[in-house]
């Protein structure tokens, strides 16, 4: 399944004992439709408040229903902020999490003193002017295989802090083009700062911590060259604050083969 969702009402993807998660909602809807318990495995966990335009997931079901029937039936049972974009039958060996090779996250900042209702819940609004060239200069130091200990959450359970950041591009857009998702405008135009992060994988809150640090650079609080020192420190306290979740969206997940 390819899922999309707005994460504002949820505690994240993974089941929680005391809060509503996207995984819980999807599993309960699917269980109701096919009449047996299921466990849905996504490509990865998204945190509370984080959105997804494309969250691949797999589930084992015992049913004679066609893919299109599952697609339509599931969407009829899901709330308006969760939808299934596509359903397809795959080989039993295919795994949405283990077979993923690259992921792309997008973070959007609304750099304006004036809010926009059309971007509400989808951006981090920053009223202070940001130095975009300085942020871009800092971003270049993050590309490649790095130890991202300084940018991982304290509760991160990953065994290794090493990740490969393949690309980090930054563009400007206009709020007026927010629906559909904002397209880049001419250089120097627009109040949306659109950052796309593509990597082999990401640590817990890594993208949000990177964004928070880049914003500190943009506000002139941290020189761009200090990002290299922050990486070398391997200490979360050396980096900037964690950016809020509503500006983050999982955009795409790539796999080893077209299947």
- pLDDT tens across 192-223, in order? 999 999 999 999 999 999 999 999 999 999 99
- 162, 148 Cβ separation under 8 angstroms: yes
CATH numbers and ranges of domains, the chain: 2-86 (3.30.70.580), 101-255 (3.30.70.660)
For residue range 117-169, list pLDDT tens digits in order: 888 999 999 999 999 999 999 999 999 999 999 999 887 778 899 999 999 99
Name residues whose C-beta falls within 8 Å of residue 72's C-beta, 6 or more positions apart in sequence: none
Q: With CA atoms as reference, report the closest residue to 181 among 169, 201, 196.
A: 196
Q: What are the angstrom distances between the C-alpha of 79 and each of 16, 28, 41, 199?
A: 18, 12, 19, 31
Annotated catalytic, 47? yes
Q: Among 31-45, 201-215, 244-258, whose mean pLDDT is lowest?
A: 244-258
d(CA 246, CA 29): 25
Q: What φ, ψ does residue 128 adopt, rounded to 5°?
A: -80, 145
Given the residues 2, 47, 169, 252, the one annotated as active site: 47
pTM higher than the cut 0.85: yes
Question: pLDDT band at 256, cuts 50/70/90?
Answer: confident
């Amino acid at each position: 399944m390819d899922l999309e969702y707005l994460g504002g009402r949820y505690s994240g993807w993974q089941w929680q004992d005391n809060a509503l998660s996207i995984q819980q909602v999807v599993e309960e809807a699917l269980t109701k439709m096919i009449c047996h318990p299921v466990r849905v495995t996504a490509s990865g966990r998204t945190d509370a408040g984080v959105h997804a335009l494309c969250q691949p997931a797999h589930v084992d079901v015992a049913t004679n229903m066609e893919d299109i029937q599952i697609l339509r039936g599931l969407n009829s049972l899901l709330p308006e902020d969760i939808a299934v974009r596509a359903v397809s039958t795959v080989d039993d060996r295919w795994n949405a999490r283990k077979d993923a090779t690259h992921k792309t996250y997008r973070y959007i900042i609304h750099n304006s003193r004036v809010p926009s209702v059309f971007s509400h819940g989808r951006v981090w609004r920053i009223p202070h002017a940001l130095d975009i060239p300085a942020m871009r200069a800092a971003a270049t130091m993050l590309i490649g295989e790095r130890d991202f200990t300084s940018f991982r959450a304290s509760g991160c359970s990953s065994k290794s802090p090493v990740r490969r950041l393949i690309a980090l591009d930054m563009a400007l857009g206009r709020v007026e083009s927010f629906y559909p998702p904002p397209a880049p405008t001419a250089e120097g135009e627009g109040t949306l700062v659109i950052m796309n992060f593509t990597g082999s994988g990401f640590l817990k809150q890594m993208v949000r911590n990177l964004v928070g640090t880049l914003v500190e650079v943009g506000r002139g609080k941290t020189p761009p060259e200090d990002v290299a020192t922050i990486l070398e420190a391997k200490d979360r306290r050396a980096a900037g604050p964690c950016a809020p979740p509503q500006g983050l969206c999982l955009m795409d997940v790539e796999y080893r083969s077209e299947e």
